[in-house]
Amino acid sequence: MIVSFIEGRIRLRHEILKRPYAAEKIKKIFLSMKGVMDISMNHKTGGMLIIYDSGVLDIKDISRRLALLMDLRADDKKGFVYPRKTVNAGMLASLIISLLGAATGKTALHIAAGIVFAGFAGAHTYKYRQMLFA
């Protein structure tokens, strides 16, 4: 993440920055922030140098934005997608709730959670369709 920090200058390293498409998207997002003056990228090392005006931005602003961006996973063809863990956790939680609804006789809860599960399962299947149906 943050490798070095001097007031007005932050150097980052992250695997996602080795992907040119994702790195350029992240660069554009940071350049749109008021106070960011320049960004240098190195796709081979996964490094990014952000030069900013410390009178306008502080490290907390940049860190918050960085945390949001790095939590996302980059897909070189489609941009950012939410982490796989989110979909898996959603499927598991909705399945458990659906089963609890069925076990306790709460039909509406069982049906609603089943619909949510089907949505997460559909998103998962769509994402991995090429691998599943190859």
- Domain segments of the chain: what residues? 2-81, 84-132
Confidence of residue 130 (pLDDT cuts 50, 70, 90): low
Q: Are 46 and 15 in contact (CB under 8 A)?
A: yes
Output the pLDDT for position 1.
Answer: 72
Bridge partner list, 49: 11, 40
Confidence of residue 11 (pLDDT cuts 50, 70, 90): very high
Q: Are 81 and 72 in contact (CB under 8 A)?
A: yes
pTM exceeding the 0.75 threshold for the entire prediction: no
Residue with tokens 């996973």: 73
Indicate whether 75 pLDDT > 70.
no
Indicate whether 74 pLDDT > 80.
no
How large is the average pLDDT for residues 110-124?
A: 90
For the domain 2-81, what is the CATH code?
3.30.70.100
